[in-house]
Chains A and B, each alone.
Chain A
Amino acid sequence: QKEVEQNSGPLSVPEGAIASLNCTYSDRGSQSFFWYRQYSGKSPELIMSIYSNGDKEDGRFTAQLNKASQYVSLLIRDSQPSDSATYLCAPSNTGFQKLVFGTGTRLLVSP
């Protein structure tokens, strides 16, 4: 079992729709969870962090965490073509010594 699993996609959504990105992780000691956006040829950019079970909203982005199910998700409302990128899920390991990145989900938002 991989440490962090994401559907590689591509996930195709029309402009204005909700994009739902999912991630499961294996380290039960993970306490902090991050979502990064990476445009092709660019470096990862932090867009959301979540530490407690439940939902956390920031603008068009909502992160959801369920530690019992070892599941974290990212919702993007009113998706825009500029949201087209690879989204990387990154839980911390136990003790937060490092971030472990999932394989990423490629999102394509069509006009």
Chain B
Amino acid sequence: DTEVTQTPKHLVMGMTNKKSLKCEQHMGHRAMYWYKQKAKKPPELMFVYSYEKLSINESVPSRFSPECPNSSLLNLHLHALQPEDSALYLCASSQAVGMDYGYTFGSGTRLTVV
């Protein structure tokens, strides 16, 4: 299995809703990442998890809350989002932080905040 699976593929939520994005990989990778990508912009790193521990938080607002329940699963909990948070949210994994391997990306969740 060489895939990173993200669900849901599309999500529309109101500004008062709470929702979660899910990411799963079964490649034995020990590093997992959340990126945010706006239209015609490059992916921007949000969080890095290494061996299920948060290692990097790129000053992301607290309305985004990551969680890594086990080595295969990464969640992003969303609460009280703003319309400007609408974007493509990408999950990625790699063998480990600090190793010279590229990332494998999931297909993303396209989020619209109304």
For residue A29, CB closer than 8 A to chain B, the reply is no
Q: How far is the CA of A95 from the CA of B106 in the complex (A)?
A: 24
Give 1 or 0 for each of B28-55: 1 = CB within 8 Å of chain A CB: 0000010000000111110010000001
| A46, A88, A97, A98: the one within 8 Å of B42 (CB) | A88
| B55, B102, B108: the one within 8 Å of A34 (CB) | B102
Known contacts A97-B55, A97-B56, A98-B45: A51-B100 contact under CB 8 Å: yes
How many of chain A's residues have a CB under 8 angstroms from any CB in B?
24
Q: How many A-B pairs fall under 8 Å by CB?
A: 55
Q: Are B100 and A32 in contact (CB under 8 A)?
A: yes
Q: Are B98 and A97 in contact (CB under 8 A)?
A: yes
| B44, B97, B104, B107: the one within 8 Å of A96 (CB) | B97
Q: Are A97 and B97 in contact (CB under 8 A)?
A: yes
B110 CB to nearest chain A CB (Å): 8
Q: Are A103 and B42 in contact (CB under 8 A)?
A: yes
Q: Are A43 and B41 in contact (CB under 8 A)?
A: no
On chain A, the residues within 8 Å of B106 by CB distance are: 43
Q: Are A101 and B100 in contact (CB under 8 A)?
A: no
Chain B interface bracket (under 10, 10 to 19, 20 to 34, 35 or more): 20 to 34
B35 CB to nearest chain A CB (Å): 8
Q: Are A44 and B45 in contact (CB under 8 A)?
A: no
Give 1 or 0 for each of B96-114: 1 = CB within 8 Å of chain A CB: 0111111111111000000
Q: Are A44 and B43 in contact (CB under 8 A)?
A: yes
On chain B, the residues within 8 Å of A42 by CB distance are: 107-108
| B41, B102, B105: the one within 8 Å of A103 (CB) | B41
For residue A99, CB closer than 8 A to chain B, the reply is yes
On chain A, the residues within 8 Å of B41 by CB distance are: 103
For residue A73, CB closer than 8 A to chain B, the reply is no
Q: Which 6 pairs, one residue from A and one from B, show the smallest C-beta to C-beta distance? A: A101-B42, A43-B105, A46-B102, A32-B100, A34-B102, A43-B108
